[in-house]
Every structure is written in C-alpha cells, then in structure tokens.
Amino acid sequence: MANTRRNRGYNYELKLVKAFSFMSPVEEWNARRLGGSSTGLPDVVAVNNHNGILFAIEAKSTTSDWVKVPYDEYIRCQQVCNIFKLYENSYILLAFKFGSDKKNKDKIYKLGRGKTGTKKKRTNKDIKEYYFVIKHTVNIEAIEYVRCNYKGELYVKKKPVDPVQQIVLGDPQINYIMFDNIEKVKQEVKRGFIYSKLKYA
C-alpha cells in the first residue's frame, strides 16, 4: 500500500516536471524533482529565469476524497521562496490530483459534501487536478495543515493552541488563485496576477 502511494506521488511529480518543461525553450521554464520529505525540500521546483519566476511545489496525488499538506511540508516551500530572493516572483504551488483506484475498481467515492454527496465509482472522466498558486500567507506559524477536497475547496486548519498562544500566533490565512492545469499557471504568472481573482482560505 505504501509503495503504491509512493509510486503514485513519484509519477505525479514527474508529470509536473514534464508539464513545466513541455514546449518551453531552455531559457524559459526549467523544473526538477528535489526528493520531497526525504530531503527536507519541496517535491519539485520550477523556474522561469527569463521572467524571474520561481515555484516551490508540493504535490499530492490521492484516490481519497481529500488530502492535506502538513505544516512542515508547507513551510519548506516558503523557506525555499525566501532563500532565492533574486527571483522577484516566487510562489508556493500546491498541486493536487484526485484519481481513481485502479487496483480496486469497485471502490465507491462520495463526489460531494455531507448528506448530499453522490456516491459512485470514480472513472477517468472523474479525475480532477487543482493547482493553487499561493500569493501570500498570513501567520504561517499558526498552520497545522492545508487541506484540499475533491471539489477543489481549500481549507486551512489552525494549530490547537491555548488562548495565550492564539493571541501571539493569530489566525492563519492564505490568498491564492486556483487553476485546473499547468499551462494556465504558466501563462497567468507571466502576464502578472489578476488580483480580482485572488481568493482566501
């Protein structure tokens, strides 16, 4: 089971690397896998040296209805952005893929929330991908994890702390733009953000 999840994640990371490099001149986009948890670095880093853009990418591929990015994985993306200050436009990119379980074809998924969620088998047509470009994070130290569900809804969970610590840390907040494919991500950041599209979690 663990190997299956690891292989799923590895394949998704390779897909992201290829998506950033596909049809891109060498001087424009370059992407590399960094090893993720085993190295204390983001899963993937992608740069556009011509336009001064850097993405620190955390990638999650799952067959569940939701998946989360723990604080330690989120913060290492922010640390990479902080280190490479020569890139004027550096962002955290949270990449999520909700796929079907090929080894358990009879698995039933709930496509929706609460009692109104429709239960059905998830086919290739039901596979979803979401890409959240994080523009800014407020009170990052107060984050326990960031979670995305099958519908593409992003949720920030606060650390459970006592009232005094809560005053010190404050409430975490992420402002982002969501896309459904990498090409749109690349095009949007090269044009510059349309701030009216920014959302908050």
Beta-bridge partner residues of 54: 47, 90
User: Is pLDDT above 60 for 23?
Assistant: yes
User: Is pLDDT above 60 for 111?
Assistant: no
User: Is pLDDT above 80 for 120?
Assistant: no
- List, for residues 36-78, the tens digit of each pLDDT value: 666 789 999 999 998 999 999 999 999 999 999 999 999 999 9
C-alpha–C-alpha distance, residues 100 and 62, integer Å: 8
3-state secondary structure 91-131: EEEEEEEECCCCCCCCCEEEECCHHHCEEEECCHHHCEEEE
Q: Could you count the other beta carbons within 10 Å of the beta carbon of residue 155? A: 13
Q: Could you count the other beta carbons within 10 Å of the beta carbon of residue 142? A: 21
pLDDT at 129: 96
The first and second tokens of residue 16, run together, are: 């992201």
User: What's 196's DSSP letter?
Assistant: G
- List, for residues 70-81, the tens digit of each pLDDT value: 999 999 999 999
Domain with 52, as residue range(s), is 2-200
Label the pairing between strands 53-62 and 89-98.
parallel
The CA-based diameter of the chain, rounded to the nearest angstrom, is 52
User: Is pLDDT above 70 for 26?
Assistant: no
pLDDT at 145: 96
pTM of the full structure: 0.84
The first and second tokens of residue 154, run together, are: 């992003």
C-alpha–C-alpha distance, residues 11 and 60, integer Å: 11
The first and second tokens of residue 182, run together, are: 């990498």
Contacts of 5 (CB under 8 A, 6+ apart): none
Question: 20 with 33: CB under 8 angstroms?
Answer: no
End-to-end, the C-alpha distance of the chain in Å comes to: 32
C-alpha–C-alpha distance, residues 77 and 137, integer Å: 12
- Give me the number of domains the chain comprises: 1
pLDDT band with cut points at 50, 70 and 90 for residue 9: confident
CA angle 96, 98, 53 (to 5 degrees): 20
The CATH number covering residue 56 comes to 3.40.1350.10
Q: What are phi and psi of 180, to 5 degrees?
A: -110, 5
